[in-house]
Chains A and B, each alone.
Chain A
């Protein structure tokens, strides 16, 4: 099965992933979040007690399913390769940056597309930052940026993250060790089995289609290649139809209850950091999970960086708050990015520039 050799198949793969996201939203995932890698890693980090934000703690089966789905399909199609050794700790830092930028904006690139399809203008504003971030990454690539070569390593090494993910699932289902939110976004979720199957299907299709949000923009800017972009287009269209059909399409800026804010500069800068870091890391948060599933220890470390970044965001008050309605006064309370989050976002962008121009491709 090859889904990446024609644009039609790529659009189809994107549409299937869009359907999965739509189903998850229908069955109970938070409004206009549906399937967000950053939010779900943050929730899973909370379930493991890495941070104490009680409203965002839940071991999301989607994240576990993504990694396991990519693992199973890559083993099945002989694409599993255990590799490691490409600037590992730099990738850990890039994972942290991707998470911090995502939680300043309130969503990963996948959720940005889902928010855009639900009429959230803030996500369209953030898209500007994302494109600029990707473009800056492309500029660095053209100037010779590289994290160096990964090497084939012990076959079992690449399976460590999938095994850890399976372990988290077992702990979540079979014990009461993990934390689970009783209120807030962490308490809103589809039934476990639907989330897990959704993650597995999404993971398998994302692996076969090479779906990547940063990669799609990067290829358009770098090579005028629209292959990966067509996957995103398929996903966007399906989610747009779903949102319109189920009256979830609410165009506007200050829409309460959708976990978004309207601080335009910080929506732009948050996604700028994400786009920049994702190009440097060779893929968006979703792609990192998929690559980790198919044996890349470097991507697994990037994922660990995202977990660490999520913990920092909630332990140090970096994450933005969403626009909400005050239950007593019924007034709209605007969401905002805290000062710590703004400072962290700036630091992240500076670190991206340092990484971009200190890691050079070896000349042969």
Chain B
């Protein structure tokens, strides 16, 4: 699974990296972010593009899997 590590990056970098990853991904993409609002932004971004996003909280960060 393709993984994008956007932890600790300022807005809008997590979304830009997500958009790039989705553009050339075949299957699922895993996005790692630090802030709750970034997690929500990534989820919303995925849903707006007709994809599903499943999030889980890890140790000090969030993991969002987009399919």
The interface of chain A, by Cβ under 8 A from chain B, is 2, 4-5, 78-79, 81, 83, 85-86, 141-142, 146-152, 210, 215, 218-219, 222-223, 281-283, 361, 364
Which residue in A4, A78, A151, A361 is a CB contact (below 8 Å) of B37?
Answer: A4
Identify the interface centre among B11, B37, B44: most chain A CB within 10 Å of its CB.
B11
Cβ of B35 within 8 Å of any chain A Cβ, yes or no, is yes
A-B pairs with lowest CB-CB distance, top 5: A149-B8, A282-B10, A150-B8, A79-B36, A152-B60
Tell me if A149 and B40 are in contact (CB < 8 A): no
Tell me if A215 and B11 are in contact (CB < 8 A): yes
A281 to B12, CA, bound (A): 11
A239 to B8, CA, bound (A): 36
Tell me if A4 and B40 are in contact (CB < 8 A): yes
Tell me if B15 and A361 are in contact (CB < 8 A): no
Q: Which residues from A are CB-within-8-Å of B13?
A: 141, 146, 361
* Count of residues in B whose CB is under 8 Å from the partner chain: 18
Main secondary structure of the interface of A (DSSP, over half): loop
Which residue in B7, B12, B44 is a CB contact (below 8 Å) of A149?
Answer: B7
* CB pairs A–B below 8 angstroms (14 shown): A4-B37, A5-B40, A5-B44, A85-B8, A86-B10, A141-B16, A149-B9, A152-B34, A210-B37, A219-B12, A222-B16, A281-B10, A282-B10, A283-B10
A79 to B36, CA, bound (A): 7
* Minimum Cβ distance to chain B for residue A225 (Å): 9
Q: Which residues from B are CB-within-8-Å of A152?
A: 34, 60
Enumerate B40-67 residues with CB–CB distance to A below 8 Å: 40, 44, 60
Q: A4-B40, A5-B40, A364-B5 are in contact. Are A150 and B34 (CB under 8 A)?
A: yes
Tell me if B12 and A222 are in contact (CB < 8 A): yes
Q: Which residues from B are CB-within-8-Å of A79?
A: 35-37
Tell me if A283 and B11 are in contact (CB < 8 A): yes
Enumerate B5-43 residues with CB–CB distance to A below 8 Å: 5, 7-13, 15-16, 19, 34-37, 40
* Minimum Cβ distance to chain B for residue A42 (Å): 25
Tell me if B9 and A146 are in contact (CB < 8 A): yes
Q: Which residues from B are CB-within-8-Å of A4?
A: 37, 40
Tell me if B34 and A141 are in contact (CB < 8 A): no
A149 to B60, CA, bound (A): 14
Tell me if A81 and B35 are in contact (CB < 8 A): yes
Q: Which residues from A are CB-within-8-Å of B16?
A: 141-142, 222
A146 to B12, CA, bound (A): 10
Q: Which residues from B are CB-within-8-Å of A281?
A: 10
Closest chain B residue to A149, Cβ basis: B8
Closest chain B residue to A212, Cβ basis: B11
* Minimum Cβ distance to chain B for residue A361 (Å): 7
A135 to B35, CA, bound (A): 25
Tell me if B40 and A81 are in contact (CB < 8 A): no
Given A152-B34, A210-B37, A282-B11, 6 further pairs, Cβ under 8 A = A83-B8, A86-B8, A86-B10, A149-B8, A222-B12, A223-B15
Q: Which residues from B are CB-within-8-Å of A142?
A: 16
Which residue in A78, A151, A364 is a CB contact (below 8 Å) of B8?
Answer: A151
Q: Which residues from A are CB-within-8-Å of B8?
A: 83, 85-86, 148-151
Tell me if B9 and A218 are in contact (CB < 8 A): no
Q: Which residues from A are CB-within-8-Å of B7?
A: 149
* Minimum Cβ distance to chain A for residue B10 (Å): 3
